[in-house]
Structures are given as C-alpha cells and as structure tokens.
Structure 1
Amino acid sequence: MIRVHLLGRFTIFTPAGEVVLPTAKVRLLSAYLFWQQGRWMRRALLRDMLWGEVDEERAAGNLRTALYLLRRAFDAGGVPERLLQIRRDTVRVPDGPGCRVDVREFEKKVWAGLHKDVREVEPLMAAASLYRGDFLEDLDAEWCLPERRRLADLHLAVLRTLVDRLAALGLYEGAVSYASRWLAVDPLDEAAHQALMRLYHAVGQPALVVEQYEQCRQMLEKELGISPGDATVRLLQELAPTADKGAAACPRKKVPGRGRRGLRSPSAGQSPDSFFTVKNFS
C-alpha cells in the first residue's frame, strides 16, 4: 500500500519507508500528479507550470529529466512501476486501491459526515484526524493556493460542526477539544471564543468563561486594535453575571482602514449568536 500525504508536509510512504525525492521541482511535479490522480496531464501544461520562465525546448528537457529522476526515486523507494504512467504527450498517476491519497479520504469523510444525521460524529472526527496541516504546506507554488484555501475552509467547517454536534450530545470535553483546535486555526474568530465560553459554562467552570473572554479581548486588541463585539460582551454578562465587567464595559474601538481578518460566521447565513444556544449546553 502506498500512502500519500498532501495535507501538511508532502510525503510518500511505502512499506519500505518514506520515498526520498531529489529536488524541489521533482517534489512539485510528484505532488501535482498525485493531486490530479487518475487524470492524464499534458506535458505542455507541466512544462509551463514548472519552467514557464525558460524557452520551450529547455523546459521540455527539464521535464524529461524530472520524470526520469521521479521514476528512479520511485524505484528506489519501492513504488510500483505502474504508479507512474508516461506517454509521449501525457503523464499520470493512475487511480487504484493500492494508493491512498489523504486529500481524497479527507473530502470523502467530510461530505459523508456533513450529510449524515446531526447525531453522527465519527466520519467528521476521522476527517479532522486526517487534516495534519494545510494543503502542501511545505511547497511554494501558485497552483497550491486556491486548493489550500478551499481545504482549510472545509477543515474549519468540520471543526465547527463537530463542536455543535458533540455539545448537543452532551459530550462537552470532546467539544472543548475541537473548539480549541478551531480557535488555534483562527484565533481572531469571535465565534470560536464564544463556543468555548458556552462550553465552559456547560461544565460549570465560570472562571474559564471569564478567562476565555479575556483571551479574546487581548487577542483582538493586539492584532486588530478593537474590542470584542457586543454579542461576545453580552454572552459574558449572561454566562458569568458576577464577573468583573470593567473590560467588558469598554466601548468597541473603530480602527479606520483595518478589517477584522479571519472572522468567520459558523456557517453561511448563520450568525455567531445562533450557532450555539445556552439550552444546547444545559
């Protein structure tokens, strides 16, 4: 079985261990072919993508060399010869049960989980475990960026949904774990801070509710020069009515020319206030 990781650091594993790819261009070529697994890719496209800055003849020679080095690395690492199919004008990594690419498994589990009953969490937990990092995070190529953003957003949707479903099931410790991961990915998202405040309230930890609010306040002040929104302040007053409201009472600052980067609502068309309700955690 060949296992390919496109989430996080790009790696190829065989029963013999990790396959060593000799150059940055060979790594990019290999990553692209596994990302496009099953599709015949035209050599002209690969030449332009990897060596667009040189003339066509030189780029064609570079591609031939890269494919030779890739084949040799595959052979040395124990990758079956059939896994790299080369024709005169096209190249591909074929589909097959002997090669598992984590991105495909991740998306399969995500969509299976999102379309299941709201009490179903196992497929989404499996998807979250597959997300080891951003798509090809160690490779620097323009073609990676749109897919990197798309998969990162999908990962956030998984975390938010898991928090929602686990909380509704009364599995608060698990919900806290995924909410913490959500916050680590997007520390400026007030909805993540609000989710943790509600969860700490649900498990009877008012001090942690206040601590989470203070973390939110400090983060927004440091990074954006603003205070928490009215919804977050109201939530603190609701969940920890005896807390010191000195910081919470400060008016929200307006900073000209500065947006609130990374702030996402729990889902399209849903406000942070409606994402969690106190009754869900009681």
Structure 2
Amino acid sequence: MTKHLWDAWHAEHERKRADRHGFLAVTSLNFLDETPRRFPDAPGAWSTGPGGVVVDLTEGESLTVDGTEVTGRHSFGVLPERGGVSAGFGDAVIEVARRGGFDIVRPRHPDNPLLTGYRGTPAYEHTEKWEITGRYVAFDEPRQVTVGAAVEGLEHVYESPGRVEFEALGTPLALTVFNGHTPGGFFALFTDETSGVTTYAANRSLAIGAPAADGTVVLDFNRATNLPCAYTEFATCPLPPAENRLPVAVEAGEKTPV
C-alpha cells in the first residue's frame, strides 16, 4: 500500500471512529440483572432474565426501535453473544447488547465531551518495512479461544481457525487469528515491545485479508488499530491471547491516543 492509499484509509478510519453514535459517544456501561434499574443517561427501568432484556418506560418516556416508537414495557428478547440492537432516544442511541455472557446497556450521546473534544489519533509514518508476507496455517479443527477483557472479570470466547506465521526484524513469529468481518478474512489481537511505551498497552488489532491459494497472506501493520478500550473506560474489548505478545517492537500503526 502506498502512503497515499494509507492516508485515505486512515482518514476514513478516523471518520468512522468519530461517528456521532460511535464508541466515543458512550456515556456509561451498565450490566443488567433481574432487578429493574434506571440510569441517568437513558429512559426506562432496565432488567434481564431468561427471556432477555426488558425495559419499562413510564409515562412520557419512549424509545424508537426499528423505526417504531415504543412505550410501556418492551422486550428486546434474547441477544446473541457480540450481538445487539440500537434504540433511538432523541439525539442519542441506546445500545442494548450482549458481551462476555452479560446483557448490557450502553447509551451513546453525540454531545459526550470525549467525542466533541476528539482531535484524532497519532500514528507511525507509513512504511513498507511493516508490510509483511506471511503464511496462514489452519488448525486441524477450529479452536475455541478464551481471552480476557478490558473489564475485570469479563471473558470473551472466539473461534480461531488457525494462525499466521511470518518473520519480522529477523525473528520468526506467529499470531493466532480469529475469523474476520470479511469473507475468508481474519483479525489478530496483539501486543509488542512498543505496547505501553508508544502504543496502547493492552492491545491493538490487525485485519488480515483472506489467504491466497498457496496460503500466503499480507500483514500490513501500518493498519494496526486501537480498540475502543484505548479511549473509554466503558468498553468491553478483548485482550490478546498470551501467544500473541510479540517479542519485537512493531513501530507501525496507531499510537497511544492523546
């Protein structure tokens, strides 16, 4: 990738990060249980149980769900892990989701100071040095990998189809990968020797395209990005598996946010 293409990609990534209802707009993280509770940044009393998430809206309160105004009691049903729905509330969006086996409510307000004051994320200068060709090696069977989370006591489980082997700075390395958002693609969570120094200490994420017919893949660490937990305490981001702690300094991609 040329620097021109990287500049365009990074600008688009920053635009999405600063979306008015993106994670910079999150004002609280609330874990639900069977006791109905109200939150100062969302309407209604929220609870969850075997039938899923329920909100009880009092007179004068409403939400917009799938384009329809709802009042009174509304059931969001049982949500799948890493799934969720968004309910409108004036200029805000109320995220109702399931993370690490817990149902959560996470309001997103476009006037949140974290969002309105956001001025961008620093990154290393683009360099072809960190565009590395590796090889995807599939496991005999996909593995369920349990990793920690930015929230203490929370765990995430991801399916890993294999790992990517490569060499950087003369060192043979490998990353356990998870299934990505594009067909056949992957993503890897990792730390390296820059973590906690110039890059965010807990994790960075790298999207990897589908392997070629011979198994080769390109790891473009210029596209290593921060997860939401680098910006807000209200994120439930996964942490890298232990084997993805790279013993080299990956001086590419996004740095620690200011």
Question: TM (normalized to structure 1)?
Answer: 0.20
Question: Highest relative contact order (Cα 8 Å, sep 6+), 1 or 2?
Answer: 2
Higher percent of residues as helix? 1
Q: Which has the larger radius of gyration?
A: 1
